[in-house]
Structure 1
Amino acid sequence: MACKKISTTSGIEIKEVYTEPSDMNELPGEFPFTRGIQKDMYRGKPWTMRQYAGFSTAEESNKRYHYLLSQGTNGLSVAFDLPTQIGYDSDHALAEGEVGKVGVAIDSLKDMEALFDGIRLQDITTSMTINATAPILLAMYIALAKKQGADLKQLSGTIQNDILKEYAARGTYIYPPAPSMRLITDVFEYCSAEVPKWNTISVSGYHIREAGATAVQELAFTLANGKAYLKAAMEKGLDINVFAKRISFFFNCHSNFFEEIAKFRAARRMWAHITQNLGATDTGAQKLRFHTQTAGSTLTAQQPLNNIIRVSNQAMAAVLGGTQSLHTNGYDEALSLPTEAAAKIALRTQQIIAFESGVTDTVDPLAGSYFIEALTNEVEAAAWMYIDKIDAMGGAVKAVEQDYIQQEIAASAYRYQQEIETGEKVIVGVNKFTQQESSPQNVFRVNDAIRYSQSEKISTLKKERNNFVVKNNLDLLQKAASGTENLMPFIVTSVESYATLGEIADVLRNVFGEY
């Protein structure tokens, strides 16, 4: 089939890819993939517009998902509340004040059923930002897909499942590093057989950057973590040429436009060499596929409409950097969870870039720029220095245990904040071009009363389910956790009998301890 001719508004034809024979002979879709992982990139199809959402109850979040799908989003991304992230049911004493606040509360398979009511899981791709309790939430998703009659071999999506960055930057870990790595590799092994199209880990630089890391540190620490997961999977006996195709990455796109583009180009090249050096020979296993989210930490409560411009700038950099999937933040997120109006503007930002800007018409439009090429090389060289240092320590797990990565991030965060406070770094509306402002209107708030409704749901569930079966399944899980068996089949069986997330996490706490 002949390719559709693409032209500028003046009728000038745009080629699929531009090269300068003397110094730009590398092509997109070819090792080391600096210029993109697909030959035609967005000329073939645009990135997935995957808007992150989740708040309050499963029923309320379900309404937002239907709204986003009706507005043209083509991938869902689930945010979970803090108790769900750290393995507590909504009725636990430690959940007070946190239920449904920064994401949706999921206590059992019943909530997962409500979350995706009216949505066929086989027809969409879903990303779930969950780490310590990732095996439990993935088990619930699989259990629901089975109830819907889905072919698990066709089920596609991503689970974050990246615990190393939790120790380094974010804090929602439960168990010590060794059993946490076991749970992660159990998910790798289980999905490679049962759910082969599922991305079993999304190695996340996003939270590393949000904690204060520089672009170079985000790149280096994320790839070092990715390397640790590859090695762990290989030690489990998994084939790198199969498994590495199911690793994806999750990067932040911050405000320095050209540095972010260079970071993404360097990331692809570095990962290609890392996988090749570990034995990957299949080009699919050498490709770095990544989702991007615009930088929440750059959003300001002062003059919040300025955030629309910040998000547009960051989204454009992510697209020019070759992302496969993108979430754009709501302009009011420094004040609250995004309102529906802010969520719509965030999605429209992506749609305008995709369909009106012309940046999708050719692959890697900035390639050959002296600045971009030099900056890509410099970002890469600086990131390799960090990775070499981490390798010398024995890898990412050892670097986390020795507090090296945490200290590096903290030092960078401190420098960045100092620059803002001295005015060396300008933040428009915060330390320059400020104005008197009235209190914000139409701020989105989650009612604390939902904790009571969630607790009632749990109470009803425990009366209606077969508690003998639940106890038997949890006992089998505990026995397996004390041994060496893959825990995923036991977790799936437990959630199918409507054991709660907290009950399953507690069984593992009893065996593994807390960190």
Structure 2
Amino acid sequence: MNEQKISETTPPDLRQGTLFDPAELARLETARSDWETNSIQASVRRIPERENLETTSGVPIERLYMPQDIAGQNYLRDIGLPGEYPFTRGVQPTMYRAKPWTMRMFAGFGTAEDTNQRFKYLLQQGQTGLSTAFDMATLYGYDTDHPMAAGEFGKCGVAISSLADMEVLFADLPLDKITTSMTINSPAAVIWAMYIVNAEKRGYPMEKLGGTLQNDILKEYIAQKEYLFPPEPSLRLVIDTIEFGSRHMPRWNTVSISGYHIREAGATAVQELAFTIADGLAYVDATLARGLSIDEFAPRLSFFFDVHNDFLEEVAKFRAGRRLWAKLMREKYGAKDPRSWMMRCHAQTAGVSLSAQQPENNIVRTTIQALAAVLGGTNSLHTNSLDEALALPTEKAALIALRTQQIIANESGVTNTIDPLAGSYAIEALTNQTEQAAQNYLDRIEQLGGVLACIENGFFQHEIAESAYRYQQEVDRQQRKIVGVNSYLLDEEVKVPTLYVDYEGQKRHLERLERVRRERDQSEVQRALDALHAACDQHINTMPALLDAVRAYATLGEITDVFRAAFGEYLEPAVF
């Protein structure tokens, strides 16, 4: 009876080449039923189970996973081999057996001089790639002396107002040997142009530069809210960079499609994955409309994900994401180049999970999250520091976070075999459920008119707000325990050294900005800014004009003001 039930309910295409014999599945189902009737019932009478156990995405967690939970799994189609379609087990054939993931610690504070010294320190300690944080004024396209920048200098990243600051920021660093990530969005093209021109001045041609520009403006409207211009012209600027990078900078990822900020705003793991892939597809559609072919640009698309505390769900998220993206690129968009099918990703441990209470506990949280990212197959990783719920990380806290990655890479043994959790009934079942749930969201977004329509009608914002509210309610009711926050409390003062931003540095920064304005060729600056405005009006790629403006030492604020004048500024509609 059980054998007939399983074979009839398993679709014919899934019965072809599956891993398990239907007769054996039936016997296992009988064994599980007997176990639940006898062993489990006796056990729960003595010690009741916790109720309603589920992932952070609300997916129920079964008491036990067995082969019948992945009865339709076809190994080569659904799991496959590392480095081969559908990339469930990783995008490289040997993964960490060849070399570990890139250890790319996010760094940036105060002046360009301050951050340059932190970069050098981290590289000396074994970091393998740079990742740059910018302060709030820079993220919003303001020069440091603008009234809107008051009080924000260097507090959440480094201040960059002109090419002169970029020259100091990357002084004495081997830009041809390291890759650099830059976390900036609305003014991303401007900051990228500064990086390119600085490298050229030091003798590094742009085609030799490697790195990643976050440049994901769609997620700003969805979650982080650091947008400047309306969605359509902002999307156009992203496509300008994709087109320019595809044709001139083959080692550069011109957009890092970012679920991190979506998750930090309160989204579940499933929402993070689905909304990120939806944004990625919107960039693909817009770039195809520009006239590029899919295999011309898709190999350089990259992704950026959060890693939260639900260990098994996070591992499954990475695996499901790679498989879903591969299917979409090959089957929906007809990509032929296997590199176009790969979801290459950076990961960062969850800032929102860090607590100001008992901050040393954050070391443990970060370790669990980092291990989940590694077992999920990330390509690069940042680990948060224990003090980041209080301030920017101190040098010692950043070193502990880096050492966390190095211990996992060198002492844990998890890098010795590829995707060691593959074949786990729980992991494979959760991978399948996560992929299907993400696909369901993608279908809904398409039915609602696509990403831009869902930004305007508030779909994303509403979904994230609902999830954030549900999660906080669970914490407040102690359904979800957070050690040191709502359980296992200590009545003690937090004593953790925090980073102090030296405001003498702001004075030096402003003096450099004033010197740039005084010594540059003003007529050349105006000519370059006029040419940039014309490029905006004529709907031609803005990158060549941006590079010329940067070479003339036009400031970040002056260049962004050109975009503001050409495109206008965006005010988010109220959504209830």
Identity %: 56
Q: Residue 49 of structure 1 is aligned with which of 103, 109, 113? A: 103
Contact map agreement 1:24 1:368 (CA 8 A) in 2: no
Contact map agreement 2:153 2:159 (CA 8 A) in 1: yes
Query: How far apart, in 2, do the equivalents of 1:29 and 1:117 lie?
Result: 37
Q: Does 1:461 align with 2:516?
A: yes
SS in structure 2 of the partner of residue 122 of structure 1:
coil
Matched residue, 1:315: 370
What is the deviation of 1:53?
Answer: 0.2
Q: Deviations over 1:111-135 (max 9, x none)?
A: 0000011102111100000100000
1:95-494 aligned within 5 A = 95-276=149-330, 277-494=332-549
What is the deviation of 1:437?
Answer: 1.5
SS in structure 2 of the partner of residue 123 of structure 1:
coil
The AA in structure 1 aligned to 2:329 is: T
Contact map agreement 2:162 2:553 (CA 8 A) in 1: yes
SS in structure 1 of the partner of residue 176 of structure 2:
helix
Contact map agreement 2:224 2:265 (CA 8 A) in 1: yes
What is the deviation of 1:28?
Answer: 1.4
Query: How far apart, in 1, do the equivalents of 2:83 and 2:456 lie?
Result: 37
Contact map agreement 2:141 2:187 (CA 8 A) in 1: yes
The AA in structure 2 aligned to 1:280 is: A
The AA in structure 2 aligned to 1:241 is: D
What is the deviation of 1:251?
Answer: 0.2
TM-score, normalised relative to structure 1: 0.95
Query: How far apart, in 2, do the equivalents of 1:437 and 1:111 lie?
Result: 42
The AA in structure 2 aligned to 1:313 is: I
The AA in structure 1 aligned to 2:532 is: L
SS in structure 1 of the partner of residue 104 of structure 2:
strand
What is the deviation of 1:441?
Answer: 3.8
Query: How far apart, in 2, do the equivalents of 1:153 and 1:511 lie?
Result: 30
Contact map agreement 1:100 1:450 (CA 8 A) in 2: no
Matched residue, 1:13: none
Point out the more displaced range, 150-159 or 302-311.
Answer: 150-159
The AA in structure 1 aligned to 2:327 is: H
Query: How far apart, in 1, do the equivalents of 2:278 and 2:133 lie?
Result: 25
What is the deviation of 1:193?
Answer: 1.5
Query: How far apart, in 2, do the equivalents of 1:439 and 1:423 lie?
Result: 23
Matched residue, 1:496: 551
Structure having greater relative contact order (Cα 8 Å, sep ≥ 6) = 1
Query: How far apart, in 1, do the equivalents of 2:375 and 2:128 lie?
Result: 20
Q: Deviations over 1:25-84 (max 9, x none)?
A: 421111111111111111121100000000000000000000000000000000000110
Query: How far apart, in 1, do the equivalents of 2:534 and 2:260 lie?
Result: 36
The AA in structure 2 aligned to 1:115 is: L
Q: Does 1:91 align with 2:145?
A: yes
Matched residue, 2:92: 38
The AA in structure 1 aligned to 2:490 is: Q
What is the deviation of 1:455?
Answer: 2.4
Query: How far apart, in 2, do the equivalents of 1:177 and 1:297 lie?
Result: 27
What is the deviation of 1:449?
Answer: 4.9
CA RMSD of aligned residues (A): 1.1
Structure with larger Rg: 2
Q: Deviations over 1:287-312 (max 9, x none)?
A: 00000000000000000110000000
Point out the more displaced range, 220-229 or 452-461.
Answer: 452-461
Q: Deviations over 1:298-335 (max 9, x none)?
A: 00000011000000000000000000000000011001
Query: How far apart, in 2, do the equivalents of 1:480 and 1:112 lie?
Result: 24
SS in structure 2 of the partner of residue 121 of structure 1:
coil
What is the deviation of 1:448?
Answer: 4.3
Query: How far apart, in 1, do the equivalents of 2:502 and 2:220 lie?
Result: 28
Query: How far apart, in 1, do the equivalents of 2:300 and 2:276 lie?
Result: 16
TM-score, normalised relative to structure 2: 0.85
The AA in structure 2 aligned to 1:323 is: T
Q: Deviations over 1:365-400 (max 9, x none)?
A: 001111000010011111111110001122112111
Point out the more displaced range, 26-35 or 340-349.
Answer: 26-35
SS in structure 2 of the partner of residue 32 of structure 1:
coil
The AA in structure 2 aligned to 1:141 is: Y
Identify unmatched segments of 5+ residues in structure 1: 1-19
Query: How far apart, in 2, do the equivalents of 1:384 and 1:285 lie?
Result: 19
1:50-69 aligned within 5 A = 50-69=104-123
SS in structure 1 of the partner of residue 157 of structure 2:
coil
Query: How far apart, in 1, do the equivalents of 2:265 and 2:500 lie?
Result: 25
Query: How far apart, in 2, do the equivalents of 1:468 and 1:512 lie?
Result: 24
Query: How far apart, in 1, do the equivalents of 2:409 and 2:19 lie?
Result: 29
Contact map agreement 2:387 2:496 (CA 8 A) in 1: no
The AA in structure 2 aligned to 1:304 is: P
Matched residue, 2:52: none
Query: How far apart, in 2, do the equivalents of 1:502 and 1:218 lie?
Result: 32
Taking a change above 3 Å as real, the CA distance of residues 259 and 439 of structure 1, as seen in their structure-2 partners, is closer
